[in-house]
Amino acid sequence: MKIFNPANNTLIQEIETDTKESVAQKVESLKVGQKAWQAVPLAERLGIILKYGELVQDKIEDLAHILTLETGKPIQQSINEIRGANNRLVHLEKHAIKWLSPEVMTEGPTREVVEYEPLGVIANISAWNFPYNVGYNVFLYALVAGNAVCYKPSEFSTLTGLKFQELLWKAGVPSDVFAAFIGTGEVGQYLLESDLDGYFFTGSYETGKYIATQVAHKLVPVQLELGGKDPLYVMDDVPDVKQAAINAAEGAFYNNGQSCCAVERIYVQDGIYDEFISAFVEEVKGYTMGDPLSKDTFIGPVTRSQQVDLILGQIKDALFHGAEIRTGGFRTEGEGNYIVPTVLTSVNHDMRVMKEESFGPIIGIQRVKSDQEAFELMKDTDYGLTAAVFSQDQDRARAILDRLSVGTAYWNCCDRVSPEVPWTGRKNSGLGATLSYQGIRAFVQPKAYHLRG
């Protein structure tokens, strides 16, 4: 498999991929390794994972360089991601023992106890956009709980996936407990056909739905963290319109908009609309686009060349239906998958840009008259990942957020994830939850003991 740098389309490395046979061999070996790993005391497994966290932080510069080379993520954002993902380790250190230890539910002639057993060997089929964050949500939690993990990185973050393997092994995770499966979707398909005990997927709705249907007959846990079309509504009572615009723009354009919980569409109330648009456009025009290895760069290339066509298609469609371009709107000449950050106004829900996940440096901003109108538009989607409202008045914001079918609701913030609360999508945004105590328990199965005598 050839790995290209999306900043200039040059070849970074050619790499041998797994085959049907090597997948089968690795899975068999993980089945054996998992039994021994389950027998390692929980505190010891946790200690090994914490050691892994230290190794990563020691090598943060090198790891960030690799992430930037293969995904085009601006180097400062790569460093932020690797540093920030460490909060998953802090969360595990604080809570894993509590939530994975046996619980005595009743004392008496019959003691009733719940014990938590690992699922076994699980597949973690993952995405490239935040490989540390979304990978950690699954494989670190699964390993601490005593599972073995088949980790399939996206082909667009393969080198990072191999680093996970190298550093986990170095920290003390046995090589027959964690294995990277290298290749395209074809290798993912071999995992679907393998006899595994759970499937944990991060990626698009289409692939997630396909995976869920392919493995349904196995009756094993399936978790899906999928895409979104996350709305942000800015009410006319925000105390500082300029600051609201700066925050909204960051939510839309951080990591080039390639975040599952990126702000994907914005509604702004009449009274502040003009002021908001001019502050928003000024902010976006000020972003530095360029070489992702430069510390000053905020906007790098789009990671996947296929996505460039989708984004340009959304722009064309929006213009055809009457949208206005306030800035950007085109791909740069020359090497690399660069799209100039694009702000569209005069948009509506007949346009693809307001309905279909963009996953790129583009945003549509729509004027609304009332909270009711904003609410109707916010809920007009097949997705249900996050929604945000900016307002001075929590009650007014909650009157909207409480009625939306989303896994995460933000008041005066957006595009953020915390390990202390569940990360979960509704409707086409997913199934199940990672993070929080629920994400710790996602990788175990309860066994009830009734103990008499």
User: Least distance from C-beta 5 to ligand NDP, angstroms?
Assistant: 16
* Residues whose CB is less than 8 angstroms from the CB of residue 116 and which lie 6 or more positions away in sequence, other chains included: 99, 100, 101, 102, 145, 441, 444, 445, 446, 447
Q: Applying CB under 6 A, does 135 fall inside the site for ligand NDP?
A: no
Q: Which is nearer to ligand NDP, 171 or 385 (CB)?
A: 385
User: Least distance from C-beta 231 to ligand NDP, angstroms?
Assistant: 15
User: Least distance from C-beta 372 to ligand NDP, angstroms?
Assistant: 28
Q: Applying CB under 6 A, does 245 fall inside the site for ligand NDP?
A: no
Contact region with ligand NDP (CB under 6 A), list: 55-63, 79-87, 199-207, 340-348: 199-207
Q: Applying CB under 6 A, does 18 fall inside the site for ligand NDP?
A: no
Q: Applying CB under 6 A, does 204 fall inside the site for ligand NDP?
A: yes
Residue with tokens 């054996």: 32
Contact region with ligand NDP (CB under 6 A), list: 51-59, 142-150, 207-215, 234-242: 207-215
DSSP-assigned beta bridge partners for residue 386: 408
Q: Which is nearer to ligand NDP, 321 or 427 (CB)?
A: 427
Residue nearest to ligand NDP (CB): 188
Q: Applying CB under 6 A, does 359 fall inside the site for ligand NDP?
A: yes
Q: Applying CB under 6 A, does 430 fall inside the site for ligand NDP?
A: yes
Residues 260, 265, 271, 275: is their CA dihedral positive or negative?
Answer: positive
Contact region with ligand NDP (CB under 6 A), list: 48-56, 66-74, 119-127, 341-349: 119-127
Is residue 252 within 8 A of residue 262, CB to CB? The reply is yes
Q: Which is nearer to ligand NDP, 118 or 360 (CB)?
A: 360
Hey, what are 385's tokens?
Answer: 């990942």
Among 131, 198, 227, 360, indicate the residue that binds ligand NDP (CB under 6 A).
Answer: 227
Q: Applying CB under 6 A, does 134 fall inside the site for ligand NDP?
A: yes
Q: Applying CB under 6 A, does 226 fall inside the site for ligand NDP?
A: yes
User: Least distance from C-beta 380 to ligand NDP, angstroms?
Assistant: 18
Please state the three-class secondary structure of 126-174 as a single string.
Answer: CCCCCHHHHHHHHHHHHHHCCCEEEEECCHHHHHHHHHHHHHHHHHCCC
Contact region with ligand NDP (CB under 6 A), list: 77-85, 149-157, 163-171, 322-330: 149-157
Q: Applying CB under 6 A, does 126 fall inside the site for ligand NDP?
A: yes
Q: Applying CB under 6 A, does 155 fall inside the site for ligand NDP?
A: yes
Q: Applying CB under 6 A, does 428 fall inside the site for ligand NDP?
A: no
Q: How far apart are the C-alpha atoms of 214 and 426, rounded to whole Å?
A: 20
Q: Applying CB under 6 A, does 128 fall inside the site for ligand NDP?
A: yes
Q: Applying CB under 6 A, does 189 fall inside the site for ligand NDP?
A: yes
Q: Which is nearer to ligand NDP, 121 or 125 (CB)?
A: 125
Residues 315-334 that bind ligand NDP (CB under 6 A): none
Please state the three-class secondary structure of the chain as a single string.
Answer: CEEEECCCCEEEEECCCCCHHHHHHHHHHHHHHHHHHHHCCHHHHHHHHHHHHHHHHHCHHHHHHHHHHHHCCCHHHHHHHHHHHHHHHHHHHHHHHHHHCCEEEECCCEEEEEEEEECCEEEEECCCCCHHHHHHHHHHHHHHCCCEEEEECCHHHHHHHHHHHHHHHHHCCCCCCEEECCCCHHHHHHHHHCCCCEEEEECCHHHHHHHHHHHHHHCCCEEEECCCCEEEEECCCCCCHHHHHHHHHHHHHHHHHCCCCCEEEEEEEHHHHHHHHHHHHHHHHCCCECCCCCCCCCECCCCCHHHHHHHHHHHHHHHHCCCEEEECCCECCCCCCCECCEEEECCCCCCHHHCCCCCCCEEEEEEECCHHHHHHHHCCCCEECEEEEECCCHHHHHHHHCCCCCCEEEECCCCCCCCCCCEECEECCEECEECHHHHHHCCEEEEEEEEEC
Among 46, 49, 85, 260, indicate the residue that binds ligand NDP (CB under 6 A).
Answer: 260
Q: Applying CB under 6 A, does 154 fall inside the site for ligand NDP?
A: yes
Q: Applying CB under 6 A, does 371 fall inside the site for ligand NDP?
A: no
Q: Applying CB under 6 A, does 292 fall inside the site for ligand NDP?
A: no
Binders of ligand NDP: how many residues, by CB under 6 A?
A: 32
Among 161, 251, 300, 425, indicate the residue that binds ligand NDP (CB under 6 A).
Answer: 425
Q: Applying CB under 6 A, does 202 fall inside the site for ligand NDP?
A: yes
User: Least distance from C-beta 426 to ligand NDP, angstroms?
Assistant: 11
Contact region with ligand NDP (CB under 6 A), list: 81-89, 225-233, 238-246, 284-292: 225-233
Residues at the contact surface with ligand NDP, assessed by CB under 6 A: 125-130, 134, 152, 154-156, 184-185, 188-189, 192, 202-204, 207, 210-211, 225-228, 260, 357, 359, 385, 425, 430
